[in-house]
Amino acid sequence: MEISLFGERFSARTGIQELMDDLGSALSGTEKTYMLGGGNPALIPEVSRIWRDRMQQILDSPFEFDRMLGYYDTPQGKREFLVVVAELLRERYGWRISERNVAVTNGSQNAFFFFLNMFSGRNRAGKLRKILFPLMPEYIGYADQAAEPESFVSCRPIVRETGDHEFKYFIDFDRLQVGDDIGAICVSRPTNPTGNVLTDDEIHHLASLAAERSIPLFVDNAYGTPFPHIIFEDVAPIWNDNIIMSMSLSKIGLPSVRTGIVVANEEIIEALSAANAVMNLAIGGIGQALTAPLIRSGEILRISNELVMPFYRKKSRQAIEWIHDAFGDSIDYSIHRSEGSLFLWIWFKELGISTMELYRRLKARSVLIIPGEYFFYGMSAPWDHREQCIRLSYAQSDETVEQGITIIADEVKKIQR
Ligand SMILES: Cc1ncc(COP(=O)(O)O)c(C=O)c1O
């Protein structure tokens, strides 16, 4: 079978896909596994009940049910949903937006596929434009999305100790070069895999660099505010005409409805709607139908602030405590300050083996984590740090997280002995 370069690029097996398959097959055995590797949000009982009740309400209304399933929506999304999202953001943050600034995609991953390719690759003049990731490590889901190779460049962060066994990454603005080959700048906030939340100053600085060059700044708000609000710091979401902000219904407990939301200037929204029509014809309406009344009433804020955020904050603090107890003084480790998302990012300074090898050894003991190597892409210079970190999800049951951490501690102590 002869296929195109495009076909080759997107059908090639990637490292992370192999790893995810590996995680999946590890889970299919009969032995108890400690799944700290994936990015699935937790099923929070009070929240699941809200989705079930809302679905029941739709089922009980033939009109609503037929409207949800029986029609194609516009490629921009359901008008009613676009209106309530714009209203929420306008009222809460004072952003000057209307429904013409909002579009829906089949998951925010899908929005990134379009935008990362819209602003990278060869332009009409034949010039290669690149996406700049100003702070590595960054979300693995972007890594293989560019249609043209060599489309991503990224920067090493400043690593600053912020407490006992705690550090935080900051953007190194002194080293950050936004050359004229850069087509857009991209960050996730909170960041998957580290739980970092870029400060308001960092975002303002990036936004002004982007504006100076007339290129967009993508801010991936999949874990951010106003929903799902898995964010433990008091920071403001920032938006302007030059920022493309994406949001998602996944991490509030609805990953299967595949609903991403993009807030951007009207020109960008028109371009995205056109792409939606080509790639998807229309957007799945279930997530929009399910959540529109809750967004209109503000109930989505209560769910986020009173149920979702406290649930994850408690789990994060508890997991950190378990790590301190299990690692003690005999392991040289530091945890990235947990400011949001579902993950802890642990740095082993003196491991003696790569975290890929640690991953293999932990897998043999039924504990699944993600080795840090995968989250540093677009970097040309070598950096030891890439092989010294792991990502661990704390969204699983307390028993799984605690036991998993105990086994990690035991394995690392064995290596360092
Ligand atoms: C930072 C970040 N962005 C985007 C996504 C994609 O989310 P979805 O396509 O489910 O909206 C994820 C999923 O884990 C993520 O962690």
The pLDDT-based confidence of 57 (bands split at 50, 70, 90) is: very high
385-395 pLDDT, tens per residue? 999 999 999 99
Give the mutation target among 109, 191, 244 for probing the ligand 1 site: most ligand atoms within 8 A of CB: 109
Q: Indicate the pairing of strand 243-248 with strand 260-263.
A: antiparallel
Q: Indicate the pairing of strand 333-336 with strand 343-348.
A: antiparallel
Compute how many other C-beta atoms are within 10 angstroms of the C-beta atom of residue 236: 9
Map residue 333 onto helix, strand or coil: strand
287-330 pLDDT, tens per residue? 999 999 999 999 999 999 999 999 999 999 999 999 999 999 99
Residues 259, 109: Cα–Cα separation, whole Å:
9
**Is omega for the bond preceding 137 within 30 degrees of 0, making it cis?**
yes
Residues 191, 220: Cα–Cα separation, whole Å:
8
Nearest to 300 by CA among 334, 231, 249: 249
- 389 near 374, Cβ under 8 Å? no
pLDDT of residue 282: 94
* pLDDT of 396 strictly over 80: yes
Give every CB contact of residue 86 below 8 A, 6+ residues apart in sequence.
97, 98, 99, 101, 102
Residues 209, 90: Cα–Cα separation, whole Å:
25
pLDDT of residue 27: 63
The Cα-based distances of 347 to 168, 372, 389 in angstroms read 11, 9, 4
Cα 222 to averaged position of ligand 1 atoms, centre (Å):
6
Give every CB contact of residue 327 below 8 A, 6+ residues apart in sequence.
165, 333, 409, 412
User: pTM of the full predicted structure?
Assistant: 0.96
* pLDDT of 118 strictly over 70: yes
Cα 228 to averaged position of ligand 1 atoms, centre (Å):
12
120-146 as b/e: b if 16+ CB within 10 A: bbeeeeeeebbbbbbbbbbbbbbbebb
Query: Measuring from each residue's beta carbon to the nearest atom of ligand 1, which residues come in under 6 Å?
Result: 39, 107-109, 139, 141, 188, 192, 220, 222, 248, 250, 255, 260
Cα 415 to averaged position of ligand 1 atoms, centre (Å):
34
Residues 27, 43: Cα–Cα separation, whole Å:
18
Cα 111 to averaged position of ligand 1 atoms, centre (Å):
10
Phi then psi for 371, rounded to 5 degrees?
-70, 145
Mean pLDDT of all residues belonging to the chain = 95
Provide the β-strand partners of residue 34.
367
**Is omega for the bond preceding 190 within 30 degrees of 0, making it cis?**
yes
Residues 365, 32: Cα–Cα separation, whole Å:
10
